[in-house]
Amino acid sequence: MKKMIAMLALCLASAGAFAQSVEMPATASPRVERAMQQLQARFASANTTHDGKLTREQAAAGMPRVASYFDQIDTQRNGYVTLPEIEAFMGQKMMSR
């Protein structure tokens, strides 16, 4: 749990604004839920085109930690990352520790 929160905190070192909705597991702690809401807000703020996709440039400007892992998150090599891809990457990083 602490590792998950730490990983989320790394992604949250950016700006904030409005949130996109992502379903939270029913068993998520309030702390994890709050962190996920912040991640969603950071993503929405960085997503200046409001298309649900962050380009490398958008990530660099609004979510620098995501930008530093951009190539690892963009597994399909399509030039952008989505919120579910970021969340999946974070989950993989947590499981590998």
pLDDT of 43: 97
Work out how many domains the chain is built from and give that number: 1
- Residue owning tokens 């490398």: 56
In a domain, 92, yes or no: yes
In a domain, 82, yes or no: yes
* Residue 77, CA atoms < 13 Å, CB-side half-sphere: 0
In a domain, 29, yes or no: no
**What residue numbers bound the domain in which 84 lies?**
52-97
In a domain, 88, yes or no: yes
For 49, 76, 85, the CA distances from 72, given in Å and listed in that order, are: 22, 10, 10
Mean pLDDT by 10 residues, the chain (97 residues): 50 38 60 88 97 98 96 96 94 82
In a domain, 76, yes or no: yes
Tokens in use for 8?
């989320």
pLDDT of 3: 52
Tokens in use for 86?
């970021």
Residues, the chain, total? 97
